[in-house]
Structure 1
Amino acid sequence: MVETLDTFIKAWHWLVFGMVLAALEIFIPSFTIFWFGLGAVIVAILLWLPVELSFSWQLLIWAISSSIFAALWFKYFRPLMTDKTKAGISREAVLGESGQVIRAPQEEKRGVVRFTTPLLGDDEWEFICDSTVIVGDRVTVKDVSGNTLIVSKKQ
């Protein structure tokens, strides 16, 4: 039976299998099946090279390459795609966040503070502070008033 599979399974079979698995990702959105499809495409590419691989080796290469692709996705690339902003989060989630003054308030102009992680969709906000602050000072959010943050100087 295995000898029959060695002669029956061709590169285009693996290519179609890979494309079907990748297409299934549209209907089963886990972004896991895609990597098994990519592993099948790798086997198809290897079979188009002048290399004779038995069906057992083809399955082994498919399993290993699919596992490597999936592991790389979950270990390295997926964490990069997580949203680190606080957009859409309630006002209370912003309270207590600290940032750095990049433009000090002047007479009738509000100051500007920058946060390392964007708050409510933006990393720079105008602010009002009851104490004197200069560029480079660290401030903490105490309240939100419209589009302006009310901050206090961090001790």
Structure 2
Amino acid sequence: MDFEPQYWHWLIFGMLLMIAEIFIPSFTVFWFGLGALVVSLLVALGVPLSVPLQIILWALASCAFTLLWFRFFRPLMKDRTKAGIASEAVKGESGQVIKLPVEGQRGVVRFTTPLLGDDEWPFICNNEVALGDRVFVVEVSGNTLIVEKR
């Protein structure tokens, strides 16, 4: 019995693998499904591929997609926030004063990368600061940063 997979066999196989990613949270099965879609496209376009060549092409495409994702694209998408990280991790971070402290009110400092989930924080500083000054985090006290101007 000769079995020759049609393009729709690879299409369904690829979609099933991609759907399986919902239940397998490793984000690797997705790339094997995408590899099957590549083989499906080639077979649909009429490229003459034997069954062993289809399987080899699927394996190579899947490995290539997985490598590209983990090696090149995923590092570009890293979360740059400091949310959920201990306050020790934010010490030394620098921000810019956007609101001056006045009698009875704290100033506000803005960070280019959010610290502990927010990019603007009320601050206390023992030195005089001006709008636009660069300040550095010394300590976190509740919901207020203690900063210093260097």
Regarding TM over 0.5, the answer is yes
**Structure with the largest fraction of helix:** 1
Gaps of 5+ in 2: none
From 19, 22, 29, the counterpart of 1:23 = 19
Matched, 1:79 2:75: yes
Q: Where do 1:1-155 residues align within 5 Å? A: 4-5=2-3, 8-154=4-150
* Percent of paired sites with the same residue: 63
Gaps of 5+ in 1: none
Cα RMSD over matched residues?
2.1
SS at match of 1:131: coil
Cα distance between partner residues in 1 of 2:46 and 2:93: 60
- TM-score normalised to structure 2 length: 0.85
Cα distance between partner residues in 2 of 1:105 and 1:151: 12
Query: Deviation string for 1:55-75 (max 9, x for gaps)?
Result: 233123212321221122112
Question: How many positions carry a matched residue from both structures?
Answer: 150
Cα distance between partner residues in 2 of 1:45 and 1:30: 25
- TM-score normalised to structure 1 length: 0.83
